[in-house]
Chains A and B, each alone.
Chain A
Amino acid sequence: MKRLLIISASFCFVVLFAQTASNLTEFKENIETQKVEAKDALKPYRYDGSKVTYFNFKTYKQTKEVEVYLFNNTDYRFSFNGKSLPNDITVQIYDEDQTITSRILLKEFSGVMGKNVVVETTELQKAYDTKKPNGGRLKRVFVSYAIPGVPGAENKTPTMKERGAMVLVMGYKM
């Protein structure tokens, strides 16, 4: 009887694990598709790389930040794909990192869930020039993802419905 119980419990676990593995594999495959979509939106800018930010929605707010370098005489395009987001997030782009309290917000948008949004550094530079006259050229920006708290989220053992990813693909003008 004990053996039967062990076998049954283990079988259930294996089935659950297989399902989870399958879901995770599908999640990753979707991200690859979204990268391609985001890359297409960069054109005619030249692809330079991507940064996928993974997170789990929790009951409390979180922030994830990505630093991106901007070099002289070069215009950049950022393509954000939010098709792996189970809930919406807010994207904020700053001139400095989060340790600098006086940092300048250059652009903010939400409604990225299920969409692909493109941002160009020319508009970020304009915002910077307006908010900080004589600030010079932006040499890097900090892309900050404000991830809202979700009531009832599983903080310790997130399920698939809590897993999210933001795909950021970067390109530069030749």
Chain B
Amino acid sequence: MTGVNLKNSLIALTLGFGLASCGNSEPEDTMNVVDTTAQDEVLTEDMFESPDVDYHLPSPLQVASIFKKSGLAYHSNITNSTANASKYTEELKQMLNFGVYSADMAYCVLNEQANEGRKYLGVITTLAEQIGMEAVFENQDLMERFDKNIEDKDSIEILMIDIHERTESYMEENDMQHQSSIHFAGAWTEGMYLGVYDYEKNKEKEGLGSQITEQMAILSNIIKGLKDPKNSGTDLGWLITDLEKIQTTFDGFASVQAYVADENATELELTEADFKTLGDLIKTLRSKIINA
């Protein structure tokens, strides 16, 4: 809850008080502050008790950066086309593709494709407006900064960090953190898709294969985040089912089971067949997400 919400609560209570005081006097036994206590407890519980067990998910820029360090090559035309953005009319698709485009923007920027990155900033801004996060991009200063620094990769990366930080703060201030797992599900799927696509082109890239495997560690927390009761108003059933299928398939690989069973094993290595199965599941999910 934010200062704005607190003010709203205060206004509502003040109005409530005003209305009550205009009416007839209440019997004495109802002259208590039950509502007050309830309000105070709600404020306390909602704002000042983080879960006992929590997690931090990496930013799309970090994920893209790690993939790049692992040997991920740039391929044009494999990212989600910006032309698709206008087709996303459902809020869930808008949120998911906000994440997809964030990953695509990071992929382009890190591969020095600034003009492509600029297009993604444009669609991210539009989607942000549609999902109630227009304040993150208000003042239009981000696009101006992008244009001013289009030749300077470092500055563009810093700008991306600013966007991530603004988004993070905005969601926290407005009690929208539960939705971040939806954005992240989109970004994660796109990052994995880009990794799988490149890996299939060149299976000699061991580092990339390891990175795809390593990114699987995040999945259980993404699923946990999607299952947050605050997300119950959003039809996430199909998404959770697909992500759980990816998780259970991965957990069922003999290579994964052997790794888990061996206390001395330090790195997990998937077989070619495992990569193929995993890659197919990722591609299927990605298609569902990006198709309107």
Contacts and interface: CB of A to CB of B under 8 A. Distances in A.
Interface string A23-40: 011001100100100000
Given A13-B36, A157-B41, A52 B50 contact: yes
Contacts of A20: 40, 43
A66 B52 contact: no
Interface residues on A, range: 35 or more
Interface string A59-71: 0001111111101
A21 B10 contact: yes
Contact of A158 (B44, B54, B65, B69): B44
A51 B54 contact: yes
Contacts of A54: 47-50
Contact of B211 (A67, A71, A163): A71
Given A10-B20, A67-B55, A157 B40 contact: yes
B164 interface: yes
Contacts of A100: none
B9 A6 contact: no
Interface stretch (B24-32, B142-150, B229-237, B284-292): B24-32
A18 B9 CA distance: 10
A18 B69 contact: no
B10 A140 contact: no
B267 interface: yes
Contact of A6 (B21, B43, B218): B21
B28 A2 contact: yes
A55 B3 contact: no
A51 B13 CA distance: 32
B255 interface: no
B202 interface: no
Interface string B207-230: 100110010011001000000000
Interface of B: 2-3, 6-7, 9-10, 13-14, 17, 20-21, 25-26, 28, 31, 33, 36-37, 39-41, 43-44, 47-59, 61-62, 65-66, 69-70, 157, 161, 164-165, 168-169, 172-173, 207, 210-211, 214, 217-218, 221, 264, 266-267
19 contacts: A6-B25, A10-B21, A17-B10, A18-B10, A20-B40, A24-B43, A47-B165, A49-B56, A51-B56, A52-B50, A54-B47, A54-B48, A55-B50, A65-B53, A66-B56, A67-B53, A69-B57, A71-B66, A73-B69
